[in-house]
């Protein structure tokens, strides 16, 4: 097998392709997040209902991932990813013409289906084509694209909506999606280590079950659920909090605060490199601890503390995501796209549940209620990290026993 190694021209082209793919996916996916208060006002819906513009996208994305991951084992990685990006960009443009909130939700649901053709397959492609020692760095650069796309989509759509309207903002994001797709198409090398399988639904189902029987995978899937649910809850309702007193910020200013997520551009690469040096277990614990610090700091009332909390939380989120996704790719010895699909299924289900559940806590208890929910999520994440650590220790003891005997 021929692997792509760090430092080579083909590694740089592959990294550029997946940077563009991550940018496209997250810019489209989260372009409506700063627009939630706008939707509440324009369509007369509650914050929790408005959050469905994100939640319904992530839940259809999550469900569709299970199918696209399996289909790519038959059809190939590159064609599915390219079609996915084109379709999502077109649907994003069509969303701008939604006459009612119900039509908008339908378009956003279809966007979730279209976007599903990229994330799990991207992780599988990198796991198959990148040399294992360089996988952490490659995954970090992909997550970096996610971070920049997510930041740009949020800031751009919020500012453009404030200057013009939400329709112009969403339509422009779709046009930029087409540009990202062309970069991806021009830069991504063809698969060299992928071997298509025939369509046997029974075998594909059994391989999914095999991943679910691995306790380590279950812990990783749980971590994906928890960190994404926490992240969406924090950033969904921080906007509502800052538009109210004592801050009373404008929509444009609130949208610009999402730029703190650009720290993910650094923290994802930082985590990828340190995983190679210190190991996944240690870096997972450190990244989750950073998330806890950011969550607690957000309880401070001062605006500077809120911004700093968002910065720290974003750093920890992208670092944790980098460690967990590279660990899934490493742990799955076969049917990697299905393992990635299962991880991302729980990841985006976490987004849907955390985003909408956070709205209920916001309505009942305000910002303190949202943070209480997020802290409970992160406590479960730390429990999963401890479980992974104990699995690793048992594996080491088993290996030592076999060596001694």
pTM for the predicted model, two decimal places: 0.76
Mean pLDDT of 372-401: 76
| Confidence (pLDDT) at 11 | 85
What's the rounded mean pLDDT across residues 335-349?
A: 78
Contacts of 237-242 spanning 24+ positions with Cβ under 8 A: 237/47, 237/358, 237/359, 237/362, 237/367, 237/370, 238/298, 238/306, 238/310, 239/33, 239/34, 239/36, 239/37, 240/36, 240/37, 240/47, 240/362, 241/306, 241/366, 241/367, 242/303, 242/306
At 404, the pLDDT band (50, 70, 90 cuts) reads very low
User: Which 3 state secondary structure label does DSSP give 191?
Assistant: coil
Using pLDDT thresholds of 50, 70 and 90, give the confidence band for residue 124.
Answer: confident
Higher pLDDT, residue 341 or 249: 249
Lowest pLDDT segment from 83-92, 143-152, 190-199:
190-199
Residue 69's pLDDT band (cuts 50, 70, 90): low
pLDDT score of 119: 78
**Which of the 8 DSSP states describes residue 398?**
H
pLDDT at 198: 60
Q: Which pLDDT tens digit goes with each residue over 362-376?
A: 999 999 999 999 999
**CA distance linking residue 89 with residue 369, whole number of Å:** 36
The mean pLDDT value for 31-38 works out to: 91
Check pLDDT > 60 for residue 137: yes
401 has pLDDT over 50: no
What value does the mean pLDDT of the chain take? 84
Backbone angles phi, psi at 11, to 5 degrees: -65, -40
pLDDT at 81 over 70: yes
Q: Is residue 201 scored above 70 in pLDDT?
A: no
In percent, the amount of the chain with pLDDT more than 90 equals: 38
Across the strands, what pairs with 130?
4
Q: What is the pLDDT of residue 93?
A: 96
With a cut of 80, say whether residue 75 has pLDDT above it. Answer: no
Percent of the chain with pLDDT over 70: 88
264 pLDDT more than 80: no
Assign 1 a pLDDT band (cuts: 50, 70, 90): low
Query: Does the domain made of 9-192+202-404 have the CATH classification 1.20.1250.20?
Result: yes
**Averaged pLDDT for residues 34-50:** 90
The pLDDT value given to residue 333: 66
Residue 396 banded pLDDT, cuts 50, 70, 90: very low
Q: Which of 8-12, 127-131, 179-183 is predicted least confidently? A: 127-131
Out of 194-208, 235-249, 252-266, which region has the weakest mean confidence (pLDDT)? Answer: 194-208
Domain residue ranges in the chain: 9-192+202-404
What does the pLDDT read at residue 317? 93
Average pLDDT over residues 168-180: 94
User: 103 or 244, which is more confident?
Assistant: 103
**9/327 Cα distance (integer angstroms):** 25
Question: What per-residue string of b and e applies to 141-155 under the rule 16 or more CB within 10 Å gives b?
Answer: bbbbbbbbbbbbbbb
Residue 395 or residue 74, greater confidence: 74
- With cut-offs at 50, 70 and 90, classify the pLDDT of residue 402: very low
The pLDDT score that the predictor gives to residue 266 is: 81
């Amino acid at each position: 097998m021929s692997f792509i190694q760090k430092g080579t021209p083909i590694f740089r082209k592959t990294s550029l392709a997946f940077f563009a793919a991550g940018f496209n996916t997250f810019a489209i996916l989260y372009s409506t997040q700063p627009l939630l208060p706008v939707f509440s006002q324009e369509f007369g819906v509650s914050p929790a209902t408005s959050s469905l513009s994100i939640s319904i996208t992530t839940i259809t994305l999550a469900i569709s991932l299970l199918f696209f991951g399996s289909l790519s084992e038959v059809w190939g990685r590159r064609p599915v990813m390219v079609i996915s990006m084109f379709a999502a960009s077109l649907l994003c443009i069509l969303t701008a013409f939604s006459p009612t909130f119900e039509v908008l939700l339908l378009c956003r649901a279809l966007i979730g289906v279209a976007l599903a053709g990229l994330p799990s397959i991207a992780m599988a492609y990198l796991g198959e084509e990148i040399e294992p020692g360089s996988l952490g760095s490659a995954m970090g650069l992909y997550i970096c694209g996610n971070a920049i796309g997510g930041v740009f989509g949020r800031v751009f759509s919020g500012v453009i909506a404030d200057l013009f309207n939400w329709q112009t903002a969403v339509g422009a994001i779709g046009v930029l999606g087409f540009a990202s797709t062309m970069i991806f198409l021009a830069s991504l090398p063809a698969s060299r280590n992928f071997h298509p399988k025939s369509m046997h639904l029974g075998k594909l189902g059994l391989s999914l079950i095999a991943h679910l029987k691995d306790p380590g995978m279950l812990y990783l899937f749980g971590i994906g659920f928890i960190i994404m649910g926490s992240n969406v809850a924090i950033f969904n309702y921080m906007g509502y909090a800052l538009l109210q007193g004592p801050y009373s910020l404008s929509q444009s200013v609130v949208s610009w605060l999402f730029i703190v997520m650009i720290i993910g551009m650094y923290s994802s690469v930082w985590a990828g490199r340190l995983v190679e040096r210190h190991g996944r277990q240690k870096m997972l614990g450190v990244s989750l601890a950073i998330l806890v610090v950011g969550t607690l700091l957000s309880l401070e009332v001062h605006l500077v503390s809120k911004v700093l909390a968002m910065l720290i939380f974003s750093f920890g989120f992208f670092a944790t995501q980098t460690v967990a996704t590279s660990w899934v790719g490493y742990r799955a010895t076969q049917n990697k796209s299905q393992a990635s699909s299962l991880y991302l299924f729980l990841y985006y289900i976490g987004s849907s549940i955390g985003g909408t559940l956070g709205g209920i806590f916001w309505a009942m208890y305000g910002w303190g209620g949202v943070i209480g929910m997020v802290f409970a999520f992160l406590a479960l994440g730390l429990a999963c990290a401890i479980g992974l650590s104990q699995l690793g220790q048992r594996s080491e003891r088993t290996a030592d026993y076999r060596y001694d005997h």
